[in-house]
Structure 1
Amino acid sequence: MTPLTLVVVSRNYFNMPAWLGLHAGSFASEGIALTIDHIEGIEEVNERLRSGQAQLAYGVTEHVILDAEAGGHQAIIGGNVNRLPFSLIARPGIEGLKGLRGKRIGVSSLHAGSSSLIMRLLAGEGLNWPGDYDLVPCGPILARWDLLRSGGIDAGLQGAPLNHIALDQGFVSLCEPRQNFQFTSLNVDTRWAEAHRDPLLRFLRGFLRAHEHFCSDRNLARDVAMKESGIEPHYADRAWDEYTRDDIFPRDGEASEAGVQALIEASALIRNLPTRARTHAADYIDRRWLAEARASL
């Protein structure tokens, strides 16, 4: 067995394809002993990929763009959250996006990820950061949920099933972004990929099978979600229904060119990248690996 480490952001539903592949034996059948490391900080996930502590990452896609623009070696080789699965959840009493003026909004980081999306959403309502609201870098979805319940923030993005849990507990949804937007993706350092072609292709064959399993087996997805995240069965089913209905996880495992392009455009409006070298989604996606893995199934 070949050991590989996949580093992921927190213990949330975004990890379902990898969790399911682990439980279903999709990676083991390819001779891959996969370890999934759950990390709370999105910068730490990116740093572990850059440093070689992890060979693969379910990482924030914007990090790949920022790394590439800084002369780095990361590439998107597969999809993960290809379409936004979020509700912007706020405490009761806040009405509409304009009601966030002067409020504290939790984000994963000020440097990438959910902050870009929040800035873009609120700019459309005439609210601009930092003057009109505060962004609180508090980590990923689970940390935002804890702070929202404790009163540490007034609002934050939550994905299924936590958005449903929040609504059932009396919180309110200010908007439901569902457009194409490559929020997270399967990322790799291209230097490692080129030097480890065989184990990468074996991992990707398991990855492809895992995506097919997720989309076709609701019962298995429910069991895995309950074991890995502790959610109740009806919330696991609601999340699966939403993710399959809206194609949030790609059945074919591919990254979304339209989703990456939407991210590039949002990032360009928000991040100061005066020496931007790439402007097209295809410049950041390397589809060769999945194509070769799929051909060898």
Structure 2
Amino acid sequence: MDQLTLAVVSRNYFNLPAWIALQDGLFAAEGLDVRIDHIEGIEEVNERLRDGRAQLAYGVTEHVILDAEAGGRQRIIGGNVNRLPFSFIARAGIRDYAELRGRRIGVSSLRAGSSSLIIRLLAKRGLRWPEDFTLVPCGPILARWDMLRSGEIDAGLQGAPLDQIALDQGFVSLGNPRDEVPDFQFTSLDLDAGWAEANRDLVLRFCRAFLRAHERFYADQATASRIAMQESGIERRYADRAWEQYVREAIFPRDGEASEAGVQALIETSSLIRDLPPRERRAADYIDRSWLAAARGSL
């Protein structure tokens, strides 16, 4: 068995296709022994890909774009969270966006991730950062959930199924960002192009398992929910609700592909968080579809 390491962000539902490939034997069928490293710091996922501690990653897509703009070799080769699965969850008693003035809003990082989304959503409602609210870097959604419950933050994006758990515990939803940003490449399957070219057979075998895992997610709810419960500790009712939402809204791409429209929306939205010169490259320049195409052709 050939060993590979896949770095992922935290232990949340976003990782389900990789968990399916591991637990249902799809990696093993390709002769791969894949270790999934669950990382709480979203920047560290990108760093491990850069320094070789991980060969592939479910990373925050913005980090790949920043790496490429700095002359790096990271590339998006597949999709993960292609559409936003979030609700904007706030403490009980906060009734609308206007009541977020002066509040502390949790985000994954000030450098990438949910920050730009929050700024975009609140700007449309007349709230400007940093004058009108504070962004608090918390890490991934599990950390944001803990800080929301402890009162350290007043609101933040929560992904399915944590948003449903929050509502059942008395928190409130101020809305769904996907209603305003229908396509957004939040996370993706990423790798270092130099390593990939030197290890073509390994990448293609990984990609075949990746493609099969996405199809199995859509075709086999029982397996998807069982593995989600096993890996993330959620109850069956929440695992089933999350599966229904992810299938209905095609949050995971059934064909495994990254979304060009989603990457473009990310590029345009992320400019709110940093003072960057206009980006000359378009979304397609950051996506290498050749790996999935070759893997699909060999299935």
Q: Same fold (TM over 0.5)?
A: yes
Output the TM-score relative to the length of structure 1: 0.98
Amino acid corresponding to residue 112 of structure 2 in structure 1 = A
Output the TM-score relative to the length of structure 2: 0.98
CA distance in structure 2 between the partners assigned to 1:105 and 1:270 by the alignment: 15
Amino acid corresponding to residue 78 of structure 2 in structure 1 = G
> Which residue pairs with 2:290 in the alignment?
288
Amino acid corresponding to residue 182 of structure 1 in structure 2 = Q
Tell me whether 1:256 sits opposite 2:285 in the alignment: no
Please give the residue correspondences for 1:116-131 in structure 2 after superposition, counting only pairs within 5 Å: 116-131=116-131
> Which residue pairs with 2:93 in the alignment?
93
RMSD, aligned α-carbons: 0.9
Amino acid corresponding to residue 67 of structure 2 in structure 1 = D
> Which residue pairs with 1:136 in the alignment?
136
CA distance in structure 1 between the partners assigned to 2:130 and 2:32 by the alignment: 46
> Which residue pairs with 2:200 in the alignment?
197
Deviations 1:102-154, CA, capped at 9 Å, x for gaps? 00001110000011111111111111111110000010000000000000000
> Which residue pairs with 2:157 in the alignment?
157
CA distance in structure 1 between the partners assigned to 2:198 and 2:6 by the alignment: 17
Which of 214, 218, 238 aligns to 2:217? It is 214
Amino acid corresponding to residue 242 of structure 1 in structure 2 = Q
1:9–1:58 Cα contact (<8 Å) kept:
yes
Q: Which runs of 5+ in 2 are unaligned?
A: none
2:119–2:272 Cα contact (<8 Å) kept:
no
Query: What displacement does 1:275 show?
Result: 6.6
Tell me whether 1:223 sits opposite 2:229 in the alignment: no
CA distance in structure 1 between the partners assigned to 2:270 and 2:32 by the alignment: 35
Q: How many residues align?
A: 296
2:218–2:247 Cα contact (<8 Å) kept:
yes
> Which residue pairs with 1:12 in the alignment?
12
1:27–1:33 Cα contact (<8 Å) kept:
yes
Q: Percent identity?
A: 74
2:110–2:273 Cα contact (<8 Å) kept:
no
CA distance in structure 2 between the partners assigned to 1:162 and 1:73 by the alignment: 34
CA distance in structure 2 between the partners assigned to 1:81 and 1:275 by the alignment: 25
Query: What displacement does 1:70 show?
Result: 1.1
Q: Which runs of 5+ in 1 are unaligned?
A: none
CA distance in structure 2 between the partners assigned to 1:267 and 1:198 by the alignment: 35
Deviations 1:216-264, CA, capped at 9 Å, x for gaps? 1000011101100010000000000000000000000000011111101
Amino acid corresponding to residue 236 of structure 1 in structure 2 = A
1:69–1:277 Cα contact (<8 Å) kept:
no
> Which residue pairs with 1:38 in the alignment?
38
Query: What displacement does 1:267 show?
Result: 1.5
CA distance in structure 2 between the partners assigned to 1:267 and 1:106 by the alignment: 17
Deviations 1:56-79, CA, capped at 9 Å, x for gaps? 000000111111111111110000
Amino acid corresponding to residue 124 of structure 1 in structure 2 = K
> Which residue pairs with 1:265 in the alignment?
268
> Which residue pairs with 2:57 in the alignment?
57
Amino acid corresponding to residue 281 of structure 1 in structure 2 = A
> Which residue pairs with 1:169 in the alignment?
169
Deviations 1:162-204, CA, capped at 9 Å, x for gaps? 0000000000000112211000000111111111100000000
